A and B are shown apart, each in its own frame.
Chain A
């Protein structure tokens, strides 16, 4: 076992992991942060997408030991003072989730797109979000929700 510190949404978690433990497993099982979902475990579905040092990462393809000391952000860190942030609100208003399994990964990937601050065409947005799979196939509403935040139509949450 290896002792590491995972900084998750601003809180340090001193945990013991085996090198073979994926980052998303460590988040769920050692840090108790079960918001990030595990889908395919081979990098195809994107459900486990989290931000590591503000870049989107497949949590199943990074070992927890590789994230020692790095800044990790998950869906648990999105809400602001207990209320939805703008992206969560947009997903709510645009009905951008059905079963919700892909939602944590979709939201974190979208968070990166929004925070990047660069202009994003509809084609680029579709191209980037195509990284993550939604098996309810609710893609159009996911794109509408992210677009609403990018365009400033939705700027804040209305409360959970």
Chain B
């Protein structure tokens, strides 16, 4: 299918992008990698009147550690995370997560910020952003605003981004050397959307889990953090038994599970159990 007609606006700076959004209001949509937006336009599920192409922005793609913050430019392509060039547990986690995103040619076009703005329930980066308490730095024609991940994801394909706002940067915590990060995903075919995925980050000190951030994506409309899994893990020594208990606790506590032709709610609940357990195992194994 072919997309409906639209006006095409090319911008070279974030200020120009914000100005274009201000001029065209709710009818305008940002075009980044286009790997999710263009398919829904081709299906005519989205018919934006104006596309603001931000690809020419030259300072939009970066991964930069500043103190205890890792700054990710919204235009950073997925493929960059396969060789992120940063030390620490996140530097080791990123390639394992990125590899699950579609296929290499898609990863060479699609962007980190685009994924977060699109907010597909199955998005790997959305699950990671929620798990790690990312902060979205958004800009409109008047200034900028920071949105915590906990407030950012509103519903499937719906974020807190308001009319006129463009996502410019994502801040992640640059986790220190005591942290171990893991990822697990279940889907039907290589490169397909996740049915359920989990991101696990645990801080291990003196053989005990001092802190834990356990996230689940694909199971519900928006990525969730599991307080139940964290409660099981807190203070415990990492072990297969503990990780299995954390997975079971996460699964028991899930509400409003999605159900579709790929997997019903019961299957998704069981996948939450398995993915949380496997993400924790991955954290310890590869970490």
Chain A residues with CB under 8 Å of chain B are 2, 18-22, 25, 41-43, 46, 49, 55-58, 60-63, 65-66, 109, 127-128, 130-131
Contact = CB atoms under 8 A, between A and B. Distances in A.
Q: Give the bracket for the number of chain B residues in contact with chain A.
A: 20 to 34
A73 B42 CA distance: 23
Contact of B105 (A18, A41, A58): A58
Interface of B: 1-8, 34-35, 38-39, 42-43, 51, 53, 55, 103-106, 108-109, 190-191
A107 to B, nearest CB: 14
Contacts of A49: 105
A42 B39 contact: yes
23 contacts: A18-B5, A19-B8, A19-B51, A20-B5, A21-B2, A42-B1, A42-B42, A43-B38, A43-B39, A43-B106, A55-B105, A55-B108, A56-B104, A56-B105, A57-B105, A61-B38, A61-B39, A61-B109, A62-B38, A66-B53, A128-B103, A131-B103, A131-B104
A60 B7 contact: no
Contact of B103 (A25, A62, A130): A130
Nearest to B50: A19
A61 B103 contact: no
B77 to A, nearest CB: 10
A65 to B, nearest CB: 5
B5 A41 contact: no
A22 B39 CA distance: 11
Given A57-B109, A130-B191, A131-B104, A66 B42 contact: no
B53 A56 contact: no
Given A20-B3, A42-B43, A61-B39, A131 B8 contact: no
B2 to A, nearest CB: 7
Contacts of B53: 66
A160 B8 CA distance: 42
A22 B2 contact: yes
Contacts of A22: 2
B2 A131 contact: no
A39 B237 CA distance: 52
Contacts of A61: 34-35, 38-39, 109
A21 B8 CA distance: 11
B79 to A, nearest CB: 10
